[in-house]
């Protein structure tokens, strides 16, 4: 579960954001919407433990993540937070399976070939398991980035604009897939998007206004 | 660790051209330095070995350096001959200053390999021994060096004709030499020589002189057809004091002012020239030393360029991969891990460059060696590692660390959030 309190951030003195407190239990999902430039991505980075807030706290599984030292925060992030970025990026010199192995290794877990096989099968990537990532189609790349985000069974899965480049049909498909997988992996799903098509899919929603 | 080595390796072969260029530049620097080190070391060893502890060389007047090169290294042509009668004191084993001496008679060859008319002392000077067969006992018996036997396919019992001068195309003499022995491989110039008695050389020339009816001719025909004696020591050689030899190699009992005076005396007061090989060689080194110095600077420059090219390659790679690094941080990697991975890539390039450099160097020595053994009667051992290469490997590691450390720091400082929003 994830809980934030009184989160504030500023890059410089001219612009400052204050973010609403959120509180999500295991298995719940949340849509964070807002216009471009509203600070959505900043909010996501704060939740992901990759951007130190000026004030406030983020606690995941009762751990206040910004009270950890840098090395422990890195480890905590690898173990508990899965992130799907707007544009998928992988380690170019490694193939699909090796990228997932790297995600397991970096989080401090052991490399578990069976887990990788299962998750690739679930995301229909078995056929390309040995392919280099840059040879995959856009859809395959997105599914691989979902697989990578979920490989370590994170407490919370953050997805940044996962549907912005998809048509209506694919959009519903991807959201259904994400929700289904999070249910399966017992992860809390947080989607950050300005895509209004997503609104019907989420009972919990907040809007960021700057 | 193995896992990170694998990742580093994959990162390197993912940009093959840049990696290849960097490795090649480094290998060139390492290859040339290693090549120079090996050649320098073996050249010195060879020179010392060929010096054979000779303190002074007595020969005809001429260039002292030429005397040394001709009589010790068998590169240059002889300066001329000296009459035995004029140098007879030095062939006498009872000379107060001389520990031992050996006469040389040069001028003939067999397919570019020099024929040396000498006494048994020659083998002691070079610590050589007969491996197969026996030492020469009669005129036209010959003992050949290891390389001569190998390159000319000679075995004990083989026969060959000598020719006058040092080139194979010059006039052949009539007499057949018989190989009676083959020397053990020594690595010194003796491997490339044909050894025989002074008589063999005198008689080959004497046959040609026969028609000219020189006064000595009848006398020697008699000796030849009769006892077939050869001179195996300097003392025996004194019986032929009217004959000529090319030079005498001397070892002194002690080196002191008396021996210095002796050399000066010979040079000032006789027709003979005394050349000190150590002095002549130092003079030669001094002249060649400039070229070697320039080469050393060049090698240093090449190694620097290699280091800089690693630096540039890594910085460029990190620029291309900065998103990758940020993603790795997101997945739980620490800053230190990324820095070490970058350093590992640098060291891996250095390691490959070092190995390739050694291959280049040793193949180079092998090529150079096969050329030099024909041209300069030198043999080089190409496939032995030398301890200087161990030192070189440390130097390369230092280059790897220095050129990898700044990219590593920049990897360490990757700001995840900023990098990800800049995409």
The verdict on residue B385 lying in a domain is yes
Cβ density class B285-315: b for 16+ within 10 Å, e for less: eeeeeeeeeeeeeebeebbeebbebbbebbe
Cα diameter, chain B: 108
**Do B169 and B207 belong to one domain?**
yes
Which residues are CB-contacts of B389 (< 8 A; sequence separation ≥ 6)? B34, B37, B358
Ramachandran angles phi, psi of B391, nearest 5°? -65, -40
d(CA B53, CA A191) in angstroms, rounded, equals 88
The verdict on residue B280 lying in a domain is no
**Do B339 and B259 belong to one domain?**
no
Contact B327 A90 (CB under 8 A): yes
The verdict on residue B330 lying in a domain is yes
CB-based contact (8 Å) between A102 and chain B?
A: yes
Tell me the per-residue pLDDT of B96-140, one tens digit each, with 9 for 90 and over: 899 999 999 998 889 889 999 999 999 988 888 899 999 999 889
Distance (Å) from the C-alpha of residue B357 to the closest C-alpha of chain A?
26
Tell me the per-residue pLDDT of B278-315, one tens digit each, with 9 for 90 and over: 888 888 888 877 887 888 888 889 889 989 999 999 99
Q: Which domains does chain A have, with CATH numbers?
A: 2-207 (3.40.50.300)
**Do B242 and B108 belong to one domain?**
yes
The verdict on residue B283 lying in a domain is no
Task: Count CB atoms within 10 A of the CB of residue B16.
Answer: 9
Among the listed ranges B312-321, B348-357, B378-387, which one has the minimum average pLDDT value? Answer: B378-387
Determine the pLDDT at residue B215.
Answer: 40
CB-based contact (8 Å) between A70 and chain B?
A: yes
Determine the pLDDT at residue B221.
Answer: 41
Q: Are strands A2-12 and B82-83 parallel, antiparallel or unpaired?
A: unpaired
**Do B267 and B320 belong to one domain?**
no
Q: How many residues does chain A have?
A: 210
A70 token code pair: 């840098």
The verdict on residue B191 lying in a domain is yes
Find where tokens 């480094």 sit. B26
**Do B214 and B306 belong to one domain?**
no
What domain count does chain B have? 2
**Do B191 and B230 belong to one domain?**
yes
Find where tokens 């519903």 sit. A172
The verdict on residue B15 lying in a domain is yes
**Do B240 and B335 belong to one domain?**
no
**Do B263 and B343 belong to one domain?**
no
d(CA B200, CA A46) in angstroms, rounded, equals 99
The residue among A42, A40, A4 whose CA lies nearest residue A23 is: A4
Contact B421 A41 (CB under 8 A): yes
The residue among A14, A10, A2 whose CA lies nearest residue A57 is: A2
d(CA B225, CA B30) in angstroms, rounded, equals 63
Domain boundary among B248, B275, B302: B275
**Residue A79's closest chain B neighbor by CA?**
B332
- Tell me which chain B residues have a C-beta less than 8 angstroms from the C-beta of A148: 331
Domain around B142: 56-275
Number of A to B CB contacts under 8 A, please give it.
Answer: 72
The answer, yes or no, to whether residue B50 has pLDDT greater than 50, is yes
The verdict on residue B27 lying in a domain is yes
**Do B252 and B340 belong to one domain?**
no
Report the residue from A45, A75, A98 with minimal CB separation from B332.
A75
**Do B76 and B24 belong to one domain?**
no
Determine the pLDDT at residue B43.
Answer: 80
Contact A92 B324 (CB under 8 A): yes
Domain boundary among B250, B275, B300: B275
Domain boundary among B245, B275, B305: B275
Determine the pLDDT at residue B207.
Answer: 56
Q: Are strands A81-84 and A156-160 parallel, antiparallel or unpaired?
A: parallel
Tens-digit pLDDT profile for chain A (210 aa)? 899 998 989 887 777 888 999 999 988 899 999 887 788 889 999 999 999 999 999 999 999 999 999 999 999 999 999 999 988 899 999 999 999 999 999 999 999 999 999 999 999 999 999 999 999 998 899 999 999 999 999 999 999 988 887 888 888 989 999 999 999 989 999 999 988 899 999 999 999 886
Find where tokens 């051992």 sit. B381
Contact A103 B331 (CB under 8 A): yes
Which residue of A81, A106, A164 to mutate against B (max B Cβ within 10 Å)? A106
Which residue of A9, A36, A49, A92 to mutate against B (max B Cβ within 10 Å)? A92
The residue among B83, B38, B39, B62 whose CA lies nearest residue B280 is: B62
The verdict on residue B281 lying in a domain is no
Task: Count CB atoms within 10 A of the CB of residue B151.
Answer: 16
**Do B270 and B387 belong to one domain?**
no
d(CA B123, CA B126) in angstroms, rounded, equals 5
Cα first-last separation, chain B: 31
- Tell me which chain B residues have a C-beta less than 8 angstroms from the C-beta of A70: 334-335
Do the Cβ atoms of B349 and B310 come closer than 8 Å?
yes
Cα distances (angstroms) measured from residue B341 to each of A192, B9, B355: 33, 10, 21
Q: Radius of gyration of chain B from Cα atoms?
A: 31
Predicted ipTM beyond 0.85: yes
Determine the pLDDT at residue B206.
Answer: 66
**Do B208 and B123 belong to one domain?**
yes
Q: How many helices (H) and strands (E) does chain B have?
A: 15, 12
pLDDT-based confidence at residue B164 (cuts at 50, 70, 90): confident
Distance (Å) from the C-alpha of residue A83 to the closest C-alpha of chain B?
8
Contact B332 A77 (CB under 8 A): yes
d(CA B236, CA B294) in angstroms, rounded, equals 51
């Amino acid at each position: 579960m994830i809980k934030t309190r009184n989160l504030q951030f500023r890059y410089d003195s001219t612009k400052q954001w204050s973010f609403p407190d959120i509180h999500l239990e295991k298995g719940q999902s949340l849509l964070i919407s807002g216009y471009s430039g509203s600070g959505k991505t900043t909010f996501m980075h704060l939740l992901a433990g990759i951007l130190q807030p000026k004030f406030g706290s983020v606690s995941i599984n009762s751990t206040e993540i910004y009270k950890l030292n840098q090395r422990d925060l890195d480890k905590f992030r690898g173990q508990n937070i899965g992130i799907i970025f707007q544009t998928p990026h992988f380690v170019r010199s490694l193939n699909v399976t090796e990228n997932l192995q790297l995600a397991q290794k970096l989080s401090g877990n052991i490399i578990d070939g069976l887990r990788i096989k299962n998750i690739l099968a679930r995301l229909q990537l078995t056929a390309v398991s040995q392919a280099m990532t840059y040879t995959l189609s856009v859809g395959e790349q997105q599914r691989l980035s979902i697989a990578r985000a979920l490989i370590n069974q994170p407490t919370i899965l953050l997805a940044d604009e996962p549907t912005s480049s998809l048509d209506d049909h694919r959009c519903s498909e991807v959201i259904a897939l994400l929700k289904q997988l999070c249910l399966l992996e017992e992860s809390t799903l947080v989607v950050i998007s300005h895509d209004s098509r997503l609104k019907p899919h989420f009972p919990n929603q907040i809007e960021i206004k700057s | 660790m193995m896992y990170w080595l694998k990742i580093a390796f994959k990162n390197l072969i993912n940009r093959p051209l840049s990696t290849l260029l960097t490795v090649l530049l480094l290998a060139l620097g390492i290859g040339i330095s290693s090549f120079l080190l090996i050649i320098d070391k073996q050249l010195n060893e060879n020179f010392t070995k060929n010096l054979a502890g000779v303190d002074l060389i007595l020969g005809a007047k001429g260039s002292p350096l030429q005397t040394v090169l001709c009589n010790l290294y068998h590169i240059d042509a002889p300066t001329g001959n000296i009459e035995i009668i004029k140098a007879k004191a030095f062939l006498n084993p009872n000379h107060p200053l001389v520990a031992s001496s050996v006469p040389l008679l040069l001028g003939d060859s067999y397919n570019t390999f020099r024929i040396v008319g000498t006494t048994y002392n020659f083998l002691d000077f070079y610590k050589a021994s007969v491996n197969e067969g026996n030492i020469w006992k009669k005129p036209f018996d010959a003992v050949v060096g290891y390389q001569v036997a190998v390159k000319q396919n000679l075995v004990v019992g083989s026969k060959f004709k000598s020719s006058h001068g040092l080139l194979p195309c010059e006039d052949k003499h009539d007499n057949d030499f018989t190989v009676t022995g083959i020397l053990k491989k020594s690595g010194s110039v003796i491997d490339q020589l044909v050894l025989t008695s002074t008589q063999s050389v005198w008689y080959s020339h004497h046959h040609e002189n026969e028609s000219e009816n020189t006064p000595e001719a009848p006398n020697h025909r008699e000796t030849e057809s009769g006892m077939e004696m050869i001179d195996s020591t300097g003392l025996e050689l004194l019986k032929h004091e009217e004959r000529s030899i090319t030079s005498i190699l001397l070892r002194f009992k002690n080196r002191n002012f008396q021996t210095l005076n002796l050399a000066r005396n010979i040079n000032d007061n006789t027709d003979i020239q005394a050349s000190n090989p150590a002095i002549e060689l130092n003079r030669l080194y001094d002249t060649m030393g400039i070229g070697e110095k320039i080469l050393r600077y060049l090698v240093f420059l090449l190694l620097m360029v290699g280091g800089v090219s690693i630096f540039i390659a890594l910085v460029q790679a990190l620029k291309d991969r900065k998103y990758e690094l940020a993603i790795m941080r997101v997945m739980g990697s620490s800053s230190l891990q990324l820095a070490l991975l970058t350093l590992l890539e640098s060291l891996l390039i250095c390691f490959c460059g070092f190995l390739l450099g050694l291959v280049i160097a040793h193949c180079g020595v092998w090529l150079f060696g096969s050329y030099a053994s024909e041209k300069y009667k030198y043999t080089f051992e190409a496939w032995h590692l030398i301890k200087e290469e161990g030192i070189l490997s440390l130097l390369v590691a230092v280059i790897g660390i220095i050129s990898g450390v700044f990219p590593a720091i920049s990897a360490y400082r990757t700001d995840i959030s900023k990098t990800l929003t800049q995409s």
